[in-house]
Amino acid sequence: MSTPTPAACPAHSGTCPVSPRAQAFDPFVAPYQADPAAALAWARAEEPVFYSPELGYWVVARYDDIKAVFRDNLTFSPANVLEKITPFSDEATQVLASYNYAMNRTLVNEDEPAHMERRRVLLDHFLPANLAHHEDMVRRLVREKVDGFIATGRADLVEQMLWEVPLTVALHFLGVPEDDMDRLRAFSIAHTVNTWGRPSPEQQVKLAHDVGQFWTFAGEVLERMKQEPDGPGWMHEAIRKNAVDSSVVTDSYLHSMMMAIIVAAHETTAHAAANAVKLLLTHREAWEDICADPRLIPNAAEECLRYAGSVVAWRRRTTRAVTLGGVDLPEGANLLIVTASGNHDDGHFAAADDFDIYRGNAVNHLTFGYGSHQCLGKNLARMELRIILEELTRRLPHMQLDPDQVFTYLPNTSFRGPDHLWVTWDVAKNPEADDPDRLTPRMSYPVGPPERREIARSLRVVKVWPTADGILALRLAEASGRPLPAWEPGAHVDLHVDGFDRKYSLCGAPGADTYDIAILREDAGRGGSVHLHKALCEGATLRMSGPHCHFRVHPAAPHHTLIAGGIGITPILAMADHLRATGRAYSLHYCGRARDRMAFLDRLARDHGNHLTLHVSGENSRADLATLVAARPEGGVIHACGPDAMISALEALTADTPDGTLHVEHFTTDADAAQGHGDPFTVDLADSGLTLTVGADQSLLQALRAAGVDVPSDCEEGLCGTCECTVLAGDPDHRDRVLTRAERDAGDRIVTCCSRARGGTRMRLA
Ligand code: HEM
Ligand code: FES
């Protein structure tokens, strides 16, 4: 060991004991090297921020703490990001000095305000609109590699494709000449061990030579590129900016970045691709699903980045004493923020240790970092991962992991991917031999985060029955027979059928392997329900995303008044079932025009007879909503779903009740408001340090996405709340249908797909 080992945490003059597990933590050996997230499961549960004497760093294990660190880059400086985690011996240091090695600030380890000034100047090449044209090149490179081995039946994908494609893409993107590829690969490995590994003193000397040569090489490439002032690519752009103003894009930056970016843009993506292929082939059902439906690939890639990211830990240093996760940290504390551990935090990802390519919030992973330093190249990396997976699943769907291989990894704290990835397949079964169409790409993916509507399972209709005049009930099962995910009462699913996207609440038995929904045929509607009534016969298949739940049973209210209008009975029925099953107090009011047009009457009478009141306007028993609201017991809440007129009336009647009294679900929104258009305004983004102008015919969500900020979305019409962001200052013009009155009054959140800044005023978001 080359670093001194303090016996106790340094924050409290050695008086604070280090727990046995913290004492034993060593990131350079198993179990961390075998699986960093699993190795820190104990820390996520018991000691989320702990001092590691072995490393001399504070280790941060939970999602929220890691995000808090990324968010505040003034308190948590990135200055140590490229420092040697294992200091070099004197001999190795002298070797490095003999090469005039002077690795300094780039972007990733630069402090504010210099960092944001530089990042803003260098951002353009990374914007989604400016990345799309790289797709053809990525596709060509991947195809050529697959052509090279498809007839052989066996390949080491790392050796034969996955390191070289990302390196070539990176060099092309940067505008760096594509020669000396093997040398660059060796240099990259040396840089990784130099920065994040624990080389022995003898290895350090050899490393120092490799890293020194890499430094010299980077300088020579830079000089050559300077001779070509109009050259293409991001590094040429930086050279031009340096020529104009060397105080922002400095000389030292150029040389350091030339070396760092080759690694940042190449090894990260190569490892990510190897991890993804390995993970998907290990979870064969997921592999088969993406083979069958390439629309699933973007989210599958994102889930791979979450579950087994290629960057597993990053670093920061405190600039002042601060409390993190309940632990007091001194100024100058070095932190190892283990993003792989945050990505497996059950507090943020449900059943986080399950690999689930249908996970709706996979995109929230921390593998690209977060905030103002968040990976600039994330959308290029996503493009590469998607195309690699699309080509492999189309041309080699029968590929398997070679079961005899033992995976090895380069020991270091932060970069993770197998050294080799052997796969085998039966060449006689290569689909393109009989089907030349297999050579044609099935998909071109938009640049950016996965689109939520594409995270969809294939289902089969197993039963259809009329439950009232014009209302069909449907029972749906997973097409492959697997169980469907659990759902909460009030949840809905989105069906995608023949170009129609429609939402339906789940209303079957909780815990069943199948989902039940009911579809009202609206002859005067937009055509979707009429089409679904015709198309969804028994045996029909369809795509479904969700379930999503934005309409939850209040967990603690002493009494629930449930009010359903028309087809709005479906979520209300599921809520009533739940309240009955859990022995809670409730009353159920079901409003309709005529009994023969009211769904599930038999089931309602059977299961909820004592709590049920039918309000049938055709029988002169129309509901008196004012009486229902007034009859609500003290502290009771109302859950309602039905026509807009009914919801508006209830909103008016509960205007003076305590906030949180009325909970409603909307399925439609005002079409103009839903577009999110209006006066242009300016928005400052605190976490990413950007300032954007939101155009008159652009939603806030669109403007955020165009700037490369990942904001998840679902309905994109103000109904679900998925795209909500935190407002730090400004006056939101709320046009959504999800925020409660109190939430609107508080003014601290905004639904970005439809809401804007009032009257074109400036706004500041987190
Ligand atoms: C920064 C991961 C691919 C360019 C980062 C950071 C991480 C990361 C963890 C630091 C984030 C932070 O401090 O918040 C990854 C992963 C990749 C990948 C996992 C592949 C799967 C790429 C590619 C490029 C790139 C392909 C370039 C073409 C950069 C740059 C930064 C960065 C320039 C510095 C941004 C700044 O500090 O302002 N990346 N990266 N990355 N990455 Fe990536
Ligand atoms: Fe559903 Fe914005 S995406 S409210």
Residues 701-747: tens digit of each pLDDT: 999 999 989 888 877 888 878 899 999 999 999 998 888 878 888 89
Residue reference for tokens 């070679």: 402
| Partners of 472 in beta bridges | 466, 519
Per residue in 85-101, pLDDT (tens digit) is 999 999 999 999 999 99
Backbone angles phi, psi at 503, to 5 degrees: -100, 140
Residue nearest to atom 6 of ligand 1 (CA): 375
The amino acid occupying position 291 is C
Per-residue confidence band for 13, with pLDDT thresholds at 50, 70 and 90: low
Residue 1, pLDDT above cutoff 50: no
Question: Is the model more confident about 31 or about 679?
Answer: 31
Atom of ligand 1 nearest to the CA of 310: 19
What pLDDT score was predicted for residue 528? 86
Per-residue confidence band for 237, with pLDDT thresholds at 50, 70 and 90: very high
The finding on whether 70 has its CB within 6 A of some atom of ligand 1 is yes
Residue 402, pLDDT above cutoff 60: yes
Give me the percent of the chain exceeding a pLDDT of 90: 82
The finding on whether 266 has its CB within 6 A of some atom of ligand 1 is no
Neighbours of 538 (CB within 10 A): 12
Per residue in 506-526, pLDDT (tens digit) is 999 877 889 999 999 998 888
Helix (H, G, I), strand (E, B) or coil at 642: coil
Query: For residue 114, what are its two tokens?
Result: 């210099």
CA separation for the pair 128, 281 (Å, rounded) = 30
Residues with CB under 6 A from ligand 2: 713-716, 718-723, 736, 738, 751, 753
The finding on whether 163 has its CB within 6 A of some atom of ligand 1 is no
Per residue in 100-126, pLDDT (tens digit) is 999 999 999 999 999 999 999 999 999
Vertex 640, ends 638 and 646: CA angle to 5°? Answer: 115
What pLDDT score was predicted for residue 738? 83
Determine the residue of 492, 699, 713, 735 to mutate for testing ligand 2's pocket, defined as the one with the most ligand atoms within 8 A of the Cβ atom. 713
As a whole number, mean pLDDT of residues 332-360 equals 96
Helix (H, G, I), strand (E, B) or coil at 457: strand
Per residue in 198-231, pLDDT (tens digit) is 999 999 999 999 999 999 999 999 999 999 989 9
Q: Would you call 152 exposed, middle or buried from its count of C-beta atoms within 10 A (0-12, 13-18, 19+)?
A: exposed
Ligand 1 centroid–CA 374 distance in Å is 7
Ligand 2 centroid–CA 751 distance in Å is 7
CA separation for the pair 357, 370 (Å, rounded) = 22
Ligand 1 centroid–CA 108 distance in Å is 8
CA separation for the pair 608, 604 (Å, rounded) = 5
C-alpha distances in Å from residue 587, one per residue of 350, 558, 568, 581: 32, 12, 16, 14
Residue 673, pLDDT above cutoff 60: no
Neighbours of 279 (CB within 10 A): 18
Helices (H), 419-505: none
As a whole number, mean pLDDT of residues 171-196 equals 90
Neighbours of 142 (CB within 10 A): 24
Per residue in 602-645, pLDDT (tens digit) is 999 999 999 999 999 999 889 999 999 999 999 999 999 999 89
What pLDDT score was predicted for residue 386? 98
DSSP 7: S
Sign of CA dihedral 737, 739, 740, 741: negative
CA 419 to chain centre: 26
Ligand 2 centroid–CA 684 distance in Å is 21
Per residue in 287-320, pLDDT (tens digit) is 999 999 999 999 999 999 999 999 999 999 999 9
Point out the ligand nearest to the CA of residue 114: 1
What pLDDT score was predicted for residue 4? 42
Q: Is the ipTM of this complex over 0.90?
A: yes
Q: What is the pTM of this model?
A: 0.90
What pLDDT score was predicted for residue 5? 44
Helix (H, G, I), strand (E, B) or coil at 427: helix
What pLDDT score was predicted for residue 523? 87
Residue 62, pLDDT above cutoff 60: yes
What pLDDT score was predicted for residue 744? 87
- What torsion, rounded to 10 degrees, do the Cα atoms 742, 747, 752, 758 define? 120
**Mean pLDDT, the chain, integer:** 93
